Amino acid sequence: MYSHLSFMDKVKLEQLLLSKMFLKNNGEQNISAIAKCLNRHRSTILREIKRFKTTDEYSAYKSDKMYYKKRKKNNKRCKFTEEQINFIQIRFNKYHDSPSELIYRYFLKFGVKFPVCVKTLYKWIRLGFYGFLKQNLRHRGKKYKTKGKSDNRGKLTDFKSIWDIENKVSNVGWFEMDTVVGKEHLSSCLVLVEQSSRKYFAIKFENHTAMEVLVKFKEMVINNNLMGKMKGIITDRGKEFSKWREMEIFAETQVYFCDAGKPRQKPLIEKINGELRHWFPPGTDFNKVSQKRLDWVVNDVINEKLRPVLNWRTAKDVFIDNFR
CA separation for the pair 315, 305 (Å, rounded): 7
pLDDT tens across 11-48, in order? 988 888 888 888 888 888 898 998 998 899 999 999 99
pLDDT, mean of residues 250-277: 91
The residue type of 291 is Q
pLDDT, mean of residues 231-244: 92
Q: How confident is the model at residue 290 (pLDDT cuts 50, 70, 90)?
A: very high
Q: Is the pLDDT of residue 88 over 90?
A: yes
- Of residues 234 and 76, which shows the higher confidence score? 234
Mean of pLDDT over the chain: 88
pLDDT, mean of residues 149-171: 73
Residues present in the chain in total: 324
For the beta sheet containing 200-205, the strands, ordered from the edge strand earlier in sequence to the opposite edge, are 200-205, 188-194, 174-181, 232-235, 255-257
The percentage of the chain sitting over the pLDDT mark of 90, rounded to a whole number, equals 54
* Amino acid 93: pLDDT: 92
* Amino acid 169: pLDDT: 82
CA separation for the pair 17, 55 (Å, rounded): 7
- Give the alpha-carbon dihedral of 52, 58, 64, 65, to 10 degrees: -70
pLDDT, mean of residues 188-207: 94
CA separation for the pair 103, 120 (Å, rounded): 11
* Amino acid 77: pLDDT: 62
Q: How confident is the model at residue 212 (pLDDT cuts 50, 70, 90)?
A: very high
> What domains appear along the chain, each with residue ranges and CATH number?
7-74 (no CATH), 82-141 (no CATH), 162-322 (3.30.420.10)
**CA distance readout (Å), 40 to 30, 62, 63:** 14, 20, 17
CB under 8 Å to 204, separation ≥6 — which residues? 187, 188, 189, 216, 286, 289, 291, 294
pLDDT, mean of residues 115-127: 90
Whether the pTM exceeds 0.85: the reply is no
Look at residue 313 and give its three-state secondary structure.
strand
pLDDT, mean of residues 232-249: 92
- Of residues 226 and 324, which shows the higher confidence score? 226
* Amino acid 180: pLDDT: 94
CA separation for the pair 303, 198 (Å, rounded): 8
pLDDT tens across 140-156, in order? 666 555 555 555 555 56
